[in-house]
A and B are shown apart, each in its own frame.
Chain A
Amino acid sequence: MRGALLLELGAVMLSLTVLARVAARYSFSPIPLYLGLGLLLSEHGVVSLDVSREFIHAGAEIGAILLLFLLGVEYSVGELAAGVKRAPVSGTVDFGLNFFPGFIAGWALGWPLTAAFLLGGVTYISSSGIAAKLIRDLGWLGNRETPAVLSILVIEDLVMALYLGVAAALVLGASAGGIAWSILGAVAVVGAVLVVASRFGGHISRMVFGQSDETVLLGLLGMVLLVAGIAEQVGVSAAVGAFLVGLAISGEAARRADRLLGPLRDLFGAIFFVFFGLQVDPSTIPPVLVPALVLVVAAAVGKLITGSVAGRRIGASKGSRLRAGSLLIARGEFSIIIAELGVEAGLEPQLAPLATAVVFGLAVLGPVAVHVAGATHRHTPSSPIRSP
């Protein structure tokens, strides 16, 4: 039927708007609601989408790439290096306490090791989107713990870039040699991008300066998609390629990229979450609820301990450490990107429902925990500030 595509897409977009408004009204993340909408629209869901599925699939791929690209744009290469240097201990604690719950759970459920490895990634990486939004909305940029939290998020983002490279190789079912090749490829690409970024960063910035918005928008989008596509062709994950292109862009050009592509990221990012939900049969969720609940608790406690360790290292008060941990609890966009790798490859039927349930739980619990932690400040004399 002609026009059916427009009808379906229009209905999906409007539903997303309503959900985004509800989420904003109660100041929590819209991500779980987007996933939920996907569930409702899946093949076995309440209403099934038929004509717009392909468009949504393509949109989801673009969404994942833009999420990673703009994450890279936010950081400069120097900031990444400084972040890693500032919080190596908390970063290690973070990985140990939050990767292994997922990994062990996958293993205990008798999954293939690659699927368990991906579930470890799902529980490891905090949602820097949700954390950053909470920090902004609550006016917490001036808080003692904020730099420590941001440093941990930086380390996670960097680890994720490497992790995605390895995961992509594992999912391809590559031999040990293949994985080594893929990692070598990733390192080579990273090196090349860093050299280009430091040598020609100024030229790129200048190039972006004089042009019209339209030219810049199309140019950037084209470049990101092309590099992501090449990266995928050579077996390095497309998302990693996009992240690296983002890193290469800094300064004024970065601000412009963020302003122009930010709205596209929001649009296609939302579609990405819906698409992930679409692939899950709602009836597969109840059987994984018990492991999901265990993982939500373990992953929340893991982040609270991480926050406490990070806070203690900068001499922060109890309340400050609690806020740090709770800011890290929410999982979101990156967990879903990791899970999608396995779902696309059909590694393990339980991965999609379990990842959905865990991300849903933590994306809801995280902001709630942050608000609770924020309300419990008391008179707590603390030690003098010092540079971390």
Chain B
Amino acid sequence: MSTPKEVKVIQTPLPGIGLRLEFVTAAGQRVGVVQRQQGNLELFISHADDPDLAATSLNLTENEVSTLTGLLGGSAFSHELSHLQEAAGSIAVDWLPIKARTRYAERRLGDTHLRAHTGVSVVAVIRKGAAVPSPSPEFTFAAGDVIVAVGTAEGLAEAALILQSEP
């Protein structure tokens, strides 16, 4: 996380579509992702000759995103945190409880589709005072767990709503 030269991530809202996060590589190409409101993620890399043109754009599913994150080496946890630092203005952390007799108590993290529906990332789950960092989609919730989630204020509010829904 502590690189000699901090990479600056630029955030641009795309009205009606979602949010674009991008940075410029040392070689001068733009690389970024578009978080669609529908939940899917699009990765783009600019053209070698024309940095203003997206030469490659890939639609990625949630599983593909976590696979790619894994391939790139870092844990999802540290990536989320570095995002957090750069976009501190609009990104917030929230603690969301899993209450008994709600829809997702006893169900898996993947079943909530939180990232897809709200753009919120679950960076850890706190269970009985201990934190489980970067829980996998297979992680099964128990009543009393507290989710540590990162996202926009809007996304977090929606996530809270989803987690409160009844079975």
Residues of A within 8 A of B (CB): 74-76, 78-80, 82-83, 128, 132, 139-147, 150-151, 153-154, 202, 205-206, 209-210, 251-252, 254-255, 316-317, 319-320, 323, 374, 377-382, 384-388
Query: A317 near B14 (CB under 8 angstroms)?
Result: no
Q: Is the CB of B52 within 8 A of A316?
A: yes
What are 22 A-B pairs at a CB distance below 8 A? Answer: A79-B13, A139-B56, A141-B57, A142-B42, A142-B45, A143-B52, A143-B53, A146-B20, A147-B12, A147-B14, A150-B16, A151-B15, A205-B158, A255-B37, A319-B52, A323-B53, A378-B49, A381-B51, A384-B24, A385-B10, A387-B10, A388-B12
Name B154's closest neighbour in chain A (CB-CB): A251
Contact indicator A139/B13 (Cβ below 8 Å): no
For residue B136, CB closer than 8 A to chain A, the reply is no
Q: Contacts A139-B57, A210-B165, A255-B37 hold; do A145 and B15 have CB atoms under 8 A apart?
A: no
B15 and A83 contacting across the interface, CB-CB below 8 Å: yes
Total of A-B residue pairs, C-beta within 8 Å: 123
Task: For B34, give its contact among A132, A141, A384 (CB under 8 Å).
Answer: A141
Write out the residue numbers on chain B whose beta carbons fall within 8 Å of the beta carbon of A385.
10, 22, 24, 30
Determine how close the nearest CB of chain B comes to the CB of A155; give it in whole angstroms.
Answer: 10
B159 to chain A, nearest CB (A): 10
Query: Across the interface, do A252 and B49 meet the contact criterion of CB distance under 8 Å?
Result: no
Kindly list chain B residues whose C-beta atoms are within 8 Å of the C-beta of A388: 12
- Once bound together, how far apart are the Cα atoms of A143 and B57, in whole Å? 10
B18's nearest neighbour on chain A, judged by CB, is A141
Which of A79, A82, A210, A317 interacts with B52 by CB under 8 Å?
Answer: A317
Q: How many Å from the CB of A158 to the closest CB on chain B?
A: 10
Interfacial chain A residues near B24, Cβ < 8 Å: 384-385
> What B residues does A210 contact at CB under 8 A?
165-166
Q: Give the complex CA separation of A320 and B167 in angstroms.
A: 49
Q: Smallest CB–CB gap between A291 and chain B, Å?
A: 33
Q: Which residue of B lies closest to A319 (CB)?
A: B50
B11 at the interface (CB under 8 A from A): yes
CA distance A146 to B42 in the complex (A): 14
Bound-complex Cα distance A153 to B14 (A): 11
**Distance to closest chain A CB from B166 (angstroms):** 8
Cβ A252 vs Cβ B117 within 8 A: yes
Q: Could you tell me if B20 and A142 are in contact, using CB atoms closer than 8 angstroms?
A: yes
Proximity string of chain B (46-84) to chain A, C-beta cutoff 8 Å, 1 when within and 0 when not: 110111111011000000000000000000000000000
B54 and A139: CB pair below 8 A?
yes
User: Shortest beta-carbon distance, B12 to chain A, in Å?
Assistant: 5
Q: Is the CB of A82 within 8 A of B14?
A: no
Q: What's the least CB distance linking A316 to chain B, in Å?
A: 6
If A143-B54, A319-B53 touch, does A82 touch B13 (CB 8 Å cutoff)?
yes
| Interface 1/0 per residue, B9-37 and A, CB below 8 Å | 01111111100101010001010101001
Known: A141-B14, A142-B57, A319-B50. 16 other contacts (CB 8 A): A75-B15, A79-B16, A82-B15, A140-B57, A145-B52, A150-B16, A150-B17, A210-B166, A320-B52, A374-B53, A377-B47, A377-B49, A379-B49, A379-B50, A381-B28, A385-B24
Contact of B16 among A132, A202, A320, A387 (CB under 8 A): A132
Interface residue from A75, A80, A147, A255 paired with B20 (Cβ < 8 Å): A147
- Within 8 Å CB of A150, what residues of B? 14-17
Contacts of A380 in B (CB 8 A): 49-50, 52
Q: How far is the CA of A285 from the CA of B150 in the complex (A)?
A: 58
Q: Does B38 contact A (CB under 8 A)?
A: yes
CA distance A254 to B54 in the complex (A): 28
Residue B124 interfacial (CB < 8 Å) = no
Cα–Cα, bound, A255→B38 (Å)? 7
Question: Is the beta-carbon distance between A142 and B54 smaller than 8 angstroms?
Answer: yes
Known contacts A139-B44, A143-B52, A319-B52; is A387 also within 8 Å of B12 by CB?
yes
Please report the C-alpha to C-alpha distance between residue A378 and residue B46 in the assembled complex, in whole angstroms.
Answer: 13
Q: B142 an interface residue at 8 Å Cβ cutoff?
A: no
Q: Does B161 contact A (CB under 8 A)?
A: yes
The interface residues of chain B lying within 8 Å CB-to-CB of A153 are 15-16
A382: contacting residue among B52, B118, B154, CB under 8 A: B52
How far, in Å, is B16 (CB) from chain A's closest CB? 4
B14: chain A residues at CB < 8 Å are: 141, 146-147, 150
Instruction: Please judge, given known A-B contacts A139-B57, A141-B34, whether A209 and B165 are in contact too, CB under 8 Å.
Output: yes
Alpha-carbon separation in the docked complex, A388 to B56 (Å): 23
Tell me whether A142 and B34 are in contact in the complex, defined as CB-CB below 8 angstroms, given that A75-B16, A319-B50 are known contacts: yes
Residue pair B10, A386 in contact (C-beta under 8 Å):
yes
**A252-B162, A255-B38 known; A142 and B46 CB under 8 Å?**
yes
